[in-house]
Amino acid sequence: MKPLTNRQKKKIERTLENKRSYKAIVYGRFFTCLISVFLQLCFYAAFLTWFAYGSPYATIAQVVAMALALIFVLHLINRNDRPSSKMSWIIFILVFPVFGVAMYLFNGGGRPTRKMNHHITAAKRDNLEKLDAYYGQRPLPTVNDRRDGVTRYLAEHCNYPVFYDGEIDYYKCGEDMFPVMIEELQKAKKFILLDYFIIAPGKMWYSILDILREKAEKGVQIRIIYDDFGSMMTLPPKYERYLESLHENIKCMTFNNVVPLFAVRMNNRDHRKILVVDGRVAFTGGINLADEYIGEKVRFGYWKDSGVRVKGNAVASFTHMFFYMWNACRNDKEDIRNYLIPQMPEKYTEENTTFRLQPYADSPLDSISAGETVYVDIINRAVNYVYIFTPYLVLDDMLRASLCRAALRGVDVRIVTPGIPDKKMVYRLTRANYAVLMKAGVKIYEYTPGFIHSKSMVCDDEYAVVGTMNFDYRSLYLHFENAVYFSGCQAVIDLKRDCEETFAVSKACTQETNKRGFIGRWVDAVLRVFENLL
């Protein structure tokens, strides 16, 4: 990476100090990309429309378009994908055969480009080979335990082992977790890893950055990843180069740089939130490095989020998640063995079958969503209750059916969504899912104080998941995500208590309060056709 000149470095610092200049540059970049993509879409639409209906070859073009539409519809029908996604694309292609086929090709079926797929798969495989020696021979869960379904799936098919030792602490808001993050960062002696969707200037980030600079001076290795799209509205261009200019022990990269082109790879974002300190402690959850997450900035009312701190051998899984992304995107690759802290006994024995801790990641590289598989598994085995926090509720057939079946068999299913939305269109789609769920007996609450950004699920006082995965298509199928599955510990009860406290300050939705007129129902139906693109 080419280093910044002193003049460029000072310009970035002045930009961050001057809010007006900062907003002008950031919004200028955002709107430049937005206008560029919009103009490209207009051009494609105009060209395709002219070619299909106004050119001398219009008749041939229409026949070819209909033939292609039929081919793509057959391809979609036979594709191993969720039914609602296939149906949306089929309707779109049949209604707009020329433009629909072009949009599907540009979308890429939601999968990463071959280049991204190749690099990430290779980096992950290299990490796993080195992790085998670290993990040793770890037995899979015994077949007698009814929790084995999800733990075996994550261990065998996703290569994220289950741990029976360690600690996990749950934090019901960013204000509670942030001081603990600072405390752990101040203890760092060897390395710090940060991977976040959003980094924004403010109290939270500058407090962390001050510690990073201090630790770098003492020889601590700092590695930072942030998503370019997620931070496009908060950071100026070349900010990763600015961070590297602060000290030679600080290295930073942006994931999947935004380009002003309508490109397939722009679909896939790094939505993960990971902080690892010295391989002994890790943090994750919905909390990004921005002031609204710790109550220092008001956006959409009170911003409620949650997270967890993990200690022990399971931290190695977070280190793996970080470095397979780092090595896939950087030329100066790192050896993960330099970042593993030996804590594992030579021969692993299963001492506690109640407590389980299993960090895992999800990516669009595979055809099955690990995040959705875990959610569905927990819902399907619920006996007494299942409580869910999610900012977006754009469900596919499998999740919707699982929630309805659970409620119909007597499970107390409760979902909390925002009372004040951050995205109006997605909020309308979220509310469009209420009616069918409530008819089956699912209880839905809207968080009255503001926006709930937590992504969590707790079931029967036994199992829970906290992570970065929303209940929507992008999060479950297009983005790189991560979470922690845990059971048999106090953190499960803490999450349940947080749910109960949140129900008390939220508005219970009913069929009457969620009524839609004839036009409203048609608007919702049209929006659902485009839910894969939102």
Spatial separation of the C-alpha atoms in residues 159 and 299, rounded to whole Å: 38
> Which pLDDT does position 530 carry in this prediction?
65
Q: Is 254 found in the same domain as 318? A: yes
Instruction: Report if residue 214 sits inside a domain.
Output: yes
Instruction: Report if residue 154 sits inside a domain.
Output: no
Q: Poorest-confidence range of 18-22, 107-111, 150-154, 507-511?
A: 107-111
pLDDT bracket for residue 477 (50, 70, 90) = confident
> Which pLDDT does position 451 carry in this prediction?
96
Q: Which domain holds residue 92?
A: 6-110
Q: Is 204 found in the same domain as 183? A: yes
> Which pLDDT does position 84 carry in this prediction?
67
Instruction: Report if residue 153 sits inside a domain.
Output: no
> Which pLDDT does position 9 carry in this prediction?
77
pLDDT bracket for residue 366 (50, 70, 90) = confident
pLDDT tens-digit series, residues 408-465: 999 999 999 999 998 888 888 888 889 889 999 999 999 999 999 999 999 999 999 9
Q: Is 174 found in the same domain as 40? A: no
Q: Is 499 found in the same domain as 374? A: yes
> Which pLDDT does position 103 carry in this prediction?
72
Q: Is 103 found in the same domain as 56? A: yes
pLDDT tens-digit series, residues 306-331: 999 999 989 999 999 999 999 999 98
| pLDDT at residue 174 tops 90 | yes
Q: Residue 44: exposed, middle, or buried by beta-carbon count in 10 A (0-12, 13-18, 19+)? A: middle
Instruction: Report if residue 1 sits inside a domain.
Output: no
Instruction: Report if residue 496 sits inside a domain.
Output: yes
The share of the chain scoring above pLDDT 70, in percent, equals 85
pLDDT bracket for residue 23 (50, 70, 90) = low
Residue 319's nearest CA partner among 356, 277, 364, 369 is 277
Q: Is 473 found in the same domain as 513? A: yes
| Strands across the sheet containing 443-447 | 356-362, 481-487, 463-467, 456-459, 385-389, 412-418, 443-447, 506-508
> Which pLDDT does position 349 carry in this prediction?
45
State the average pLDDT over residues 18-35. 68
| pLDDT at residue 106 tops 80 | no
Number of independent structural domains in the chain:
3
Q: Which of 349, 379, 401 is the last residue of a domain?
A: 349
What single DSSP character describes residue 413? E
Instruction: Report if residue 359 sits inside a domain.
Output: no
> CA separation (Å) from 506 to 424, 468, 509?
19, 22, 9
> Which pLDDT does position 194 carry in this prediction?
98
> Which pLDDT does position 110 carry in this prediction?
57
State the average pLDDT over residues 149-170. 89
Q: Is 105 found in the same domain as 119? A: no
pLDDT, averaged across the chain: 85
| pLDDT at residue 532 tops 80 | no
pLDDT bracket for residue 376 (50, 70, 90) = very high
State the average pLDDT over residues 202-208. 95
Q: Is 170 found in the same domain as 29? A: no
Q: Is 327 found in the same domain as 220? A: yes
The share of the chain scoring above pLDDT 90, in percent, equals 49
State the average pLDDT over residues 168-195. 97
pLDDT bracket for residue 143 (50, 70, 90) = very low
| pLDDT at residue 29 tops 80 | no
HSE-CB at 266 with a 13 A cutoff on CA atoms is 15
Q: Is 414 found in the same domain as 314? A: no
Higher pLDDT, 10 or 459: 459
Q: Which ranges of 382-505 would DSSP assign to H, the alpha helix?
A: 397-408, 424-432, 434-440, 473, 490-504
| pLDDT at residue 207 tops 90 | yes
Q: Poorest-confidence range of 59-73, 187-201, 503-517?
A: 59-73
Q: Is 126 found in the same domain as 96? A: no
CATH number of the domain enclosing 322? 3.30.870.10
Spatial separation of the C-alpha atoms in residues 486 and 476, rounded to whole Å: 20
Q: Is 308 found in the same domain as 202? A: yes
Spatial separation of the C-alpha atoms in residues 55 and 66, rounded to whole Å: 17
Instruction: Report if residue 364 sits inside a domain.
Output: no
Instruction: Report if residue 37 sits inside a domain.
Output: yes
